[in-house]
Amino acid sequence: MTIHAITVLGHDRPGIIADTTARLAGLGLNLEDSTMTRLRGHFAMTLLCAGEATTDAIRADLEPIASDGTLTVTVYELPEEQAPAGAGRLFVLSVHGGDRPGIVSTVTAEIAAVGGNITDLTTRLSGDLYVVVAELELPADADVSVLEASIKRVAQELGVDATLRPIEADDL
């Protein structure tokens, strides 16, 4: 049993997901985790599949999807890994302000500096407004108030606003 990471990127059209997943099913692959979305109108999909098929066999089977040149498909085998324990504390970081280069890199550097791990991140550009929403896991020994202050300091230097809040537990 191996895990393969498959990405499909490019021009969006109806049927990409149906076609790709049918081919993977035909190879006996099981979709374990996936994300599929559109970014600025482009199709973007990442799949983690488990099964016995080889990398070469998957590449060959998916080749027709990319044959018209509008989609790029990549296939890589991933090493088996246990999911991290997730003992850290969970937070949501919102950053918004005028679009400029370096917002994500500057703010995320502060998170990395305290050993925080970003588990999910979305950015949106809406007119002049740039929005970043990140979910993060902070190590137990990280000082949240110090991190919050450092994020707000770099945000101010960038001329953007930043808010760090604990993720509220689901009610059920």
Partner 1 sequence: MSFNERVAAWTEAELGVEGKVLEVVRAPAHVLSVPGKDVDPTAPETIQLAADLIATMRVSPGCVGLAADQVGVSARVFCVDVSTHVKTKTHHGTYVLCNAEVLEASRNEKAREGCMSVPDLTGDVKRASRLTVRGQLPVTGETVEIVTDAFEARCLQHEIDHTDGLLFIDRVAGAHALHQRQTYL
Give the interface with partner 1 as residue ranges (CB under 8 A).
92, 94, 96-98, 120-122, 124, 126-131, 133-135, 160-161, 163, 165, 167-168, 171
The alpha-carbon radius of gyration of the chain (Å, integer) is: 20
Check if the beta carbon of residue 73 is closer than 8 Å to that of residue 47.
Answer: no
In whole angstroms, give the CA distance from residue 53 to residue 170: 38
Least separation, in Å, of the C-beta of 25 and partner 1? 26
Residue corresponding to tokens 């993060």: 136
Least separation, in Å, of the C-beta of 122 and partner 1? 4
DSSP letter (8 states) at residue 162: E
Least separation, in Å, of the C-beta of 119 and partner 1? 8
Least separation, in Å, of the C-beta of 162 and partner 1? 9
Q: Which is nearer to partner 1, 74 or 122 (CB)?
A: 122
Check if the beta carbon of residue 19 is closer than 8 Å to that of residue 65.
Answer: yes
Q: Which is nearer to partner 1, 25 or 167 (CB)?
A: 167
Check if the beta carbon of residue 47 is closer than 8 Å to that of residue 57.
Answer: no
Q: Which is nearer to partner 1, 52 or 124 (CB)?
A: 124
Q: Which is nearer to partner 1, 11 or 124 (CB)?
A: 124
DSSP letter (8 states) at residue 65: G
